[in-house]
A and B are shown apart, each in its own frame.
Chain A
Amino acid sequence: AQKVTQAQTEISVVEKEDVTLDCVYETRDTTYYLFWYKQPPSGELVFLIRRNSFDEQNEISGRYSWNFQKSTSSFNFTITASQVVDSAVYFCALSDYSSASKIIFGSGTRLSIRP
């Protein structure tokens, strides 16, 4: 069965600090996809990144970076020089490669950035 674990339920940091959100996943599939979504206070779900299981290259997008390690089944997300606008709930998620391709979400990490 597929499962995503986000052990950090809440994190609070001061603006400009770096913060890492942890994500550990379980799957028996050899082909799968990992995602991060952001849910700001307004409630919508904003897609941030998708990674397939064959691409372990780390990715950087501005202040955001992602570290995918198959050996530890982890897909961690780091925000550098955090800003108040980064305050949101962040969900790590997992999907298989099938016509269903449902996304299995973790329980989310609530990130609060204090000015």
Chain B
Amino acid sequence: EPEVTQTPSHQVTQMGQEVILRCVPISNHLYFYWYRQILGQKVEFLVSFYNNEISEKSEIFDDQFSVERPDGSNFTLKIRSTKLEDSAMYFCASSSGPGNEQYFGPGTRLTVT
């Protein structure tokens, strides 16, 4: 069964460093998303991406964040200068159409020290 994959599973970085979180969505999906979940809290939307551009972004997704689909399979989230409050689980998701179920990857746990 096709699935969304994410690497790395855990990333530890120092405050101020850049990190890139990687995702491989399900191959025939066209809509891609990033969400984050601070420990013990709800899942929050960061950004949606369709047709090689951002469809919508949340207030959390400020200038420090960017997304890219560098080739036909990867979808990346970059945080330019990490802050302590960026520590969270980051989930990538993909879907085949608007309003369709989104399938989530296993997540990348980002720890900023």
Interface residues of A (CB under 8 A from B): 31-33, 35, 37, 43-47, 50, 52, 91, 95-108
Is A50's CB under 8 angstroms from B100's CB?
yes
- Contacts A91-B43, A102-B45: A47 and B101 contacting too (C-beta < 8 A)? yes
A-B contacts at CB below 8 angstroms, number:
72
- Contacts A104-B45, A105-B42, A105-B43: A45 and B50 contacting too (C-beta < 8 A)? no
Interface flags for B25-62 (1: CB within 8 Å of A; 0: not) read 00000010101000001111100101100011010000
* In-complex Cβ contact of A101 among B89, B99, B104 (8 A): B99
* In-complex Cβ contact of A43 among B48, B98, B106 (8 A): B106
Interface centre among A33, A44, A96, A97 (most CB of B within 10 A): A44
Is B99's CB under 8 angstroms from A100's CB?
no
Is B107's CB under 8 angstroms from A44's CB?
yes
- Contacts A47-B101, A104-B45: A99 and B50 contacting too (C-beta < 8 A)? yes
Q: List 12 A-B contacts (CB under 8 A).
A: A32-B99, A43-B107, A45-B91, A45-B93, A47-B102, A99-B48, A99-B51, A100-B56, A101-B95, A102-B45, A102-B56, A108-B42
Contacts of A37 in B (CB 8 A): 104
Closest approach, in angstroms, between the C-beta of A96 and any C-beta of chain B?
7
Q: How far is the CA of A100 from the CA of B48 in the complex (A)?
A: 6
- Contacts A43-B89, A45-B91: A95 and B107 contacting too (C-beta < 8 A)? no
Interface residues of B (CB under 8 A from A): 31, 33, 35, 41-45, 48, 50-51, 55-56, 58, 89, 91, 93, 95, 98-107
Which chain B residue shows the least CB distance to A100?
B56
Which chain B residue shows the least CB distance to A101?
B98
Is A103's CB under 8 angstroms from B103's CB?
no
Instruction: Known A-B contacts: A43-B107, A47-B103. Give 5 more (CB < 8 A).
Output: A50-B100, A98-B55, A99-B55, A103-B33, A103-B35
Is A96's CB under 8 angstroms from B99's CB?
yes
Q: Which 8 A-B pairs have the closest CB atoms?
A: A100-B56, A45-B104, A100-B55, A102-B45, A101-B98, A105-B43, A97-B99, A100-B48
